[in-house]
Amino acid sequence: MITRLSHHTVYVLDQDRAKEFYIDKLGFELRNDVSMAGDGFEGAGQGFRWLTVSPPEQPDVEFVLADCRMGHSPENADEIRALVAKGALGTGVLATDDCHKTYRELSERGVVFLSEPAERPYGIEATFRDDSGNWYSLSQSVNPGE
């Protein structure tokens, strides 16, 4: 039986830049930053970097900031990289108790928003992209706790 989500993969164009963005701009916390080379994870002749971050109030869910090559052939990695770079991938919804306040805070830290907070049937939402091009919905629910 599946009991919960533990990891969510986000393909990024540069892991160092992504680490900085998620920690310094979004306020996430570092969970893991290790090289998997030499541990039987070489695949196609090279290892990979296991880089994970979490929202401070949800440490049990880790965002894997993955190189587009991780687990993919060179051809597929190139296709994923192109999709990420042009902003074609949306990775999810990030919850906040106050969308307007969080929008202001993240904007001050340099997060570029695609849309300002706006009333929606489900709450208040603003959208932004990370430093690689992945987009997120920042949402405040009309029914807190949902």
Instruction: Report the CATH number that the domain containing residue 53 is assigned in CATH.
Output: 3.10.180.10
Look at the chain and report how many structural domains it folds into.
1
Q: The domain containing residue 115 runs over which residues?
A: 7-141
Residue 47 CB-density burial (10 A; 0-12 exposed, 13-18 middle, 19+ buried): middle
Do the domain assignments include residue 86?
yes
Only one residue has tokens 């990289």, namely 81
Give the model confidence (pLDDT) of 91-125 as tens digits: 899 999 999 999 999 999 999 999 999 999 999 99
Domain assignment present for residue 54? The answer is: yes
Exposure string of 12-31, with b = 16+ CB inside 10 Å and e = fewer, is bbebeebbebbeebbebeeb
Q: Would residue 2 count as lying in a domain?
A: no
- Per-residue pLDDT tens digits for 50-100: 999 999 999 999 999 999 999 889 999 999 999 999 999 888 999 999 999
